[in-house]
Structure 1
Amino acid sequence: MSEFPPGPHTRAAVPLAPSLDPTLAAAHMPRQFRPLDGRVAWIAGTSIVLAALVALVAQWLTGLIGLVTNLVYYGRISTQFTSPAHNTLGVWAIGIPVLGGLVVGLMARFGSRAIRGHGIPEAMEQVLRNDSRIPPIITWLKPVSSAVAIGTGGPFGAEGPIIATGGALGSLLGQWLHVTADERKTLLAAGAAAGMAAVFAAPVAAVLLAVELLLFERRARSLIPVALAAMVGAGMHVYFDGAGAVFPMPDVHSASLVALATYVVLGALVGVASVGVTRLSYGIEDAFERLPIHWMWWPAMGGLVVGVVGYFMPRTLGVGYDNISLVLGGGIGLGAMLALCLMKLLSWSVALGSGTSGGTLAPLFTIGGALGGAIGIALATYVPWLGVDPKLAALVCMAAMFAGASRAFLTAVVFAFETTQQSHGLLPLLGACAAAFLVSGLMMRNTIMTEKIVRRGVRVPSEYSADYLDQVHVGDACSREVVSLKASQLLGEVRQWLATGGEKASHQGFPILNDQGALLGVLTRRDLFNPACVDQVTLDTLLKRPPLVVGADHSLREAADHMVEANVGRLIVVDPRVPMKMLGIITRGDLLAAHAKRLRSARHASRHFRFRESRP
């Protein structure tokens, strides 16, 4: 640290004004980040109340779906959740999904176009682009439209609309309470997690879904409220529907090494299939976009395909949770599983591409489970020495299909475990979902959750890593060689020095120290050459505000935030153990230099990898 040498006309320091008190209390010091505080407890409490409301909405929505299904397929008034597959309407049943699609199209045209689709991409877009602000109309229009679409035979799960509705409720609550954008995002994710947990009693998977698809982070201040909300949602499910497995299946045994390797290969194959499913669904959506017909009519056209497919295979109608249980339990044979897989894929992809309102989770689980069950039966029959259990093959392929299509890898693994309560399936699930994730990531840039919003110009984070700036202390990155000036120096001397002082006088800002070496403030070249100030004044009289400082133990992230908030390009670094003892200065350039070090390290590792690959 260098100092301007006192000249012959340097005067003794005058008494300091109260605003120039050389203590940390007088300086503008950023607060060090705390992962938890009282605000988190308040958001967590709010999330618990929100989760209870979302769980009640989930019960109401399933009852509404049951009411629509019973009314249009069976001519009775009942809210019991039932499948349309057992109707006796014959060919007349073809028109019911068409009627449902027409109603949804009208609701989207004259209500809100945002109800179209399965809801999660739309929630992601609001998080990334609109500070997690979902329009209030979606809170009631989305569940009602979904109840109509699914109740009239739409091949969707109820979980997607409930997740979207829970997220909308959380966003609406956040807008009412006037919380920060981060807190509103947390409430949105908490509502979505509560909705998923209320349907499937899978609280851990619900938290992971929120992390992988909505929060785009893993921080204690967001995880805790979301976890508590998911717990409440699952607890409400147990209260209303019992504590049994949502998809019960016979117990499976631990897999041998050969069988485990086979399940991993199956996961990779399903990863390829998940890419095909995603491209098919968006290819159909693109085909609808090219039609010379207003989009309001598309859901009715998609409903016609749903009705025709449902006429030949009624099991494709509705949510199909019973189909998942049937596939996992080995209740249908090879041919029936293949037919269910293909026909459900056709019905769901056309309906989804038409822009109706529904979910993706249950259809993907059904398609993947049926495909895995069919392959498992074939392997058990013709290659028995592999030791493949068709039921376990159905389970791992069910999860792998969702992992490959959505890249919500951990969600898929834990969801399959929580909904079946099969602990021996965890190892095959982990391997198969990892393989599906790898294959899907290599073959497809975007996912079934992100393709739509990426096309609209939204940049979706795909990886969540620790902030590099948050890992580096200011004291390790700051410049120690700082040219400082004394408070007692005359302005005229300093001006003369600036004019002839060479490189050391070329800085834009200079710390001002008292005779004891304590920091008083900072003066810029503009301050020093202000024509309103005469040469005979001392520098301390020019100081107008306490200095902007940062502690050596702060992180570069905290320093960067402090710079942005204060609209400055440099901060004085002080030792917090010794009030206002200057250690150095941190600038925007130092922040970029820290990033440059990280990039050089990454490039070095990449070059080393490519060199090893090129060697014979």
Structure 2
Amino acid sequence: MSAPGDRLRDYSVDARVLYVSVLAAVLGAVSSVLAWALLELIALATNLFYYQRFSFVEVEPSGHHMGWWVAFIPVIGGLIVGLIARFGSPKVRGHGMPEAVEVIVFQRGRVQPRVAILKPLATAISIGSGGPFGAEGPVIITGGAVGSVLGQLLPVTDCERTVLMVAGASAGMAAAFSCPMAATLLAVELLLFEWRPRSLVPVAIACITAGAIRRLLLGPGPIFLMQPTVVAMHHAAMLGALLMGMLAALLTTGLSRAIHFFETKFESLPIHWMWWPALGGIVVGLGGLIFPQSLGVGYDVIRQLLNEQVTWKLLAGILLIKSFIWVVALGSETAGGILAPLLMIGGAMGVAVGHLLTPISPGAWAVVGMTSIIAASLGAPLTAAMFAVELTHNGGLMLPVLLACVTAYAISALLQPRSMLTESLSRKGLHLSREYGVDPLETVMVREVMHTSVFALPASATRQDAMDWLAKMNKRGGEAWAHWQRIFPLLGEGGGIKAILTRGQMITAAEAGDPSAPLIKDGISNPVAVGPWETLRSVAEKMAESKLRSFPVTNDDGELVGILNIEDLLEARGKASLRDRERQRILRLRWPFAQHENTAPFLDHLVDSAYESANRHGRTGDRRTAGDRALSDDSEATAMTTHAEK
């Protein structure tokens, strides 16, 4: 016979993960096609707006010959985006990632089907008319919308629907940047909010599928090909990476605050939000007149940064004009992604600062700057570090890249209460924590906290026993009423539970008269019980489902071995919280000249003894009145009866 602990598993996954994985593979293929279609739409829109021709050839807006008339193109594009948002769906506004997080966490993975069509259309018009954005964010929300629609068409759980949405979103990212590994990490660090096989496996399969099909549609090479780094990493380069991470965190903090500053300013305007993208387009158009390279996605500019084909004029244009028109345009809540602009701004920062640092290899500091600013902006250091490898196929920079990303992530977490992605959620009154870990209730068993000194009655007990119990309780007063036990089992000859009475039911039976009546008729037959080898997390889930606050604990033979209350769960949670706050020294150094005898004052021993006594299971603390206790116990009896009937 296996031990009771063998019933527990490391993972809660079941065979449904295979079904969801097959659906995720389909989503990966669809998302890669959508990413290709969006890039083609952006190329078409760019040709129409700036070259007045119907063509899908990839071009940059900076090569136009329109003169000063070009300043009106972003305004027209912003106006069209505003109209699509007003009369199509407001969900097309924004850069995609916060909207995806909001749907995943707060809307149970449900997206309107028309978003899958209108979002890429609005994005293509926004970027094609010169908007300083990237296509990756809209691809994420578009792929996520397709996954959500599929999850709404099929009979799946909310969790499975969310996984499908994240699979579609991550696959879109993998197809847009040819980065399946970074897209998988992005899902873990930003979208899934859990680390479970049921979600990680389908998402990874979707990203792999999207990456494979992307190679067929857009080619197998990296987006930003650069000279590989083969030199050994000098310690001065590591110090430079540390500095780069610090500067990236400061720059990201400034950009994030600027974005939300302009969001606030646009919200205060006495006009409908439909006109905001057009107003932002005015700033974009003027910036494009001064610095044409600031318009559009700017992949060619990023390639120049990586190959060090730059001038100080280019760097200044990116850091000043590109950054300014980007934050203004984002503040106007038009459609467009943030990753490509962040890559350009971070690359310019890396090249500029790299002139003062130890040389590594051509374009190395641009990569470090690009990825560190992504880490600080998204709060996803592992995703950003993997970007360096998959976007450039240059794995020789992993050490300085990882150091810069982690440094930027740490400092930005200290400087900003919210990341660039979650600040907009906070403005809507939504709170989202980016931290998750092992549930402390998952690591504690019932047997560790249950009460074993239980007052129980035989199944043959009568109401006279309840009368005797009530008389003793009243005689002892507050000390007795403050006791932890709230349920009273009636046991058969073998120790099995025949029924349970709550404290309120015991009082009612004692006051009902007829002392010879069987007490078992006043109780709840077939009560819900838990096992000593169950985790407190599973018990908490049963409590939430049944609305009960106390459970009897029985062994494999059905014999009563203890009682577990909700206070015991709270105590386990409190101890876990105490681990985060309490500072104590475990080891003490003993020098040759130090005294070896125990010099701890006797008061420490008294405090420790008092603390241990306060945490014993027999502690008191119920200060409610008798009426409140009876009302609370009666409500629990009702919940128990209802659950037993079910």
CA offset at residue 275 of structure 1? Answer: 0.7
Q: For 1:272, which of 239, 250, 253 is the aligned residue?
A: 250
**Alignment-derived partner of residue 332 in structure 1:** 310
Q: For 1:365, which of 332, 343, 350 is the aligned residue?
A: 343
**Alignment-derived partner of residue 611 in structure 1:** none
Unpaired stretches in structure 1, ≥5 consecutive residues = 1-29, 381-385, 609-616
CA offset at residue 607 of structure 1? Answer: 10
CA offset at residue 352 of structure 1? Answer: 1.0
The within-5 A match list for 1:68-87 is 68-87=45-64
Rounded Cα–Cα distance in structure 2 between residues aligned with 1:495 and 1:107: 74
The within-5 A match list for 1:24-39 is 34-39=11-16
Q: With a CA cutoff of 8 Å and minimum separation of 6, indicate the structure with the bigger relative contact order.
A: 1
SS at match of 2:246: helix
**Alignment-derived partner of residue 513 in structure 1:** 491
My pick for the range that moved more, 451-460 or 488-497, is 488-497
SS at match of 1:88: coil
Q: For 2:550, which of 555, 570, 573 is the aligned residue?
A: 570
**Alignment-derived partner of residue 193 in structure 1:** 170
The within-5 A match list for 1:174-323 is 174-252=151-229, 253-323=231-301
In the alignment, does 2:530 pair up with 1:550?
A: yes
In the alignment, does 2:148 pair up with 1:171?
A: yes
Rounded Cα–Cα distance in structure 2 between residues aligned with 1:591 and 1:232: 44
Contact 2:351 2:363 in 1 (8 A): yes
Contact 2:501 2:524 in 1 (8 A): no
Rounded Cα–Cα distance in structure 1 between residues aligned with 2:455 and 2:366: 70
Change in Cα spacing, 1:526 to 1:142, as seen in structure 2 (3 Å) is: same
Q: Deviations over 1:232-285 (max 9, x none)?
A: 111111121222112111112332111111121111112111111111122122
The within-5 A match list for 1:85-104 is 85-104=62-81
SS at match of 1:379: coil
Q: For 1:495, which of 419, 443, 467 is the aligned residue?
A: 467
**Alignment-derived partner of residue 44 in structure 1:** 21
**Alignment-derived partner of residue 84 in structure 2:** 107
SS at match of 1:344: helix
SS at match of 1:55: helix
What amino acid sits opposite 1:470 in the alignment?
Answer: E
Change in Cα spacing, 1:338 to 1:86, as seen in structure 2 (3 Å) is: same
Contact 1:32 1:554 in 2 (8 A): no
Number of equivalent positions: 571
Q: For 1:136, which of 113, 119, 130 is the aligned residue?
A: 113
**Alignment-derived partner of residue 366 in structure 2:** 394
CA offset at residue 340 of structure 1? Answer: 2.5
Q: Deviations over 1:370-411 (max 9, x none)?
A: 1111222x226xxxxx34445111001101111112211111
Contact 2:92 2:122 in 1 (8 A): yes
My pick for the range that moved more, 82-91 or 267-276, is 82-91
SS at match of 2:225: coil
Rounded Cα–Cα distance in structure 2 between residues aligned with 1:299 and 1:607: 57
CA offset at residue 493 of structure 1? Answer: 2.5
The within-5 A match list for 1:444-523 is 444-500=416-472, 507-523=485-501
What amino acid sits opposite 1:62 in the alignment?
Answer: L
CA offset at residue 606 of structure 1? Answer: 8.2
My pick for the range that moved more, 96-105 or 318-327, is 318-327
**Alignment-derived partner of residue 132 in structure 2:** 155
What amino acid sits opposite 1:338 in the alignment?
Answer: A
Q: For 2:540, which of 560, 570, 575 is the aligned residue?
A: 560
TM-score, normalised relative to structure 1: 0.88
Rounded Cα–Cα distance in structure 1 between residues aligned with 2:234 and 2:8: 55
Q: Deviations over 1:6-53 (max 9, x none)?
A: xxxxxxxxxxxxxxxxxxxxxxxx998852101222222221112211
CA offset at residue 177 of structure 1? Answer: 2.1
Rounded Cα–Cα distance in structure 2 between residues aligned with 1:254 and 1:581: 67
SS at match of 2:461: coil
Q: Deviations over 1:162-191 (max 9, x none)?
A: 001111222222222242222222112111
Q: Deviations over 1:163-220 (max 9, x none)?
A: 0111122222222224222222211211110110011111121112112222222122
Contact 1:33 1:558 in 2 (8 A): no
What amino acid sits opposite 1:40 in the alignment?
Answer: V
CA offset at residue 364 of structure 1? Answer: 0.5
In the alignment, does 2:559 pair up with 1:587?
A: no
Contact 2:385 2:398 in 1 (8 A): yes
Contact 2:166 2:187 in 1 (8 A): yes
What amino acid sits opposite 2:310 in the alignment?
Answer: I
CA offset at residue 600 of structure 1? Answer: 2.5
**Alignment-derived partner of residue 126 in structure 1:** 103
My pick for the range that moved more, 485-494 or 429-438, is 485-494
SS at match of 2:138: helix
TM-score, normalised relative to structure 2: 0.84
CA offset at residue 542 of structure 1? Answer: 4.8
What amino acid sits opposite 1:521 in the alignment?
Answer: A
SS at match of 1:315: helix
CA offset at residue 541 of structure 1? Answer: 4.6
In the alignment, does 2:414 pair up with 1:414?
A: no
Rounded Cα–Cα distance in structure 1 between residues aligned with 2:274 and 2:115: 17
Q: Deviations over 1:302-345 (max 9, x none)?
A: 11221222223222111112222221121223332232332211
**Alignment-derived partner of residue 423 in structure 1:** 395
Contact 1:571 1:585 in 2 (8 A): yes
CA offset at residue 491 of structure 1? Answer: 3.0
CA offset at residue 489 of structure 1? Answer: 2.0
**Alignment-derived partner of residue 7 in structure 1:** none
Contact 1:328 1:395 in 2 (8 A): yes
Rounded Cα–Cα distance in structure 2 between residues aligned with 1:607 and 1:436: 31
What amino acid sits opposite 1:44 in the alignment?
Answer: S
My pick for the range that moved more, 457-466 or 355-364, is 457-466
Change in Cα spacing, 1:524 to 1:81, as seen in structure 2 (3 Å) is: same
Rounded Cα–Cα distance in structure 1 between residues aligned with 2:94 and 2:452: 56
Contact 2:36 2:218 in 1 (8 A): no
What amino acid sits opposite 1:484 in the alignment?
Answer: A
Q: For 2:377, which of 400, 405, 411 is the aligned residue?
A: 405
Unpaired stretches in structure 2, ≥5 consecutive residues = 1-6, 587-646
Contact 2:486 2:550 in 1 (8 A): no
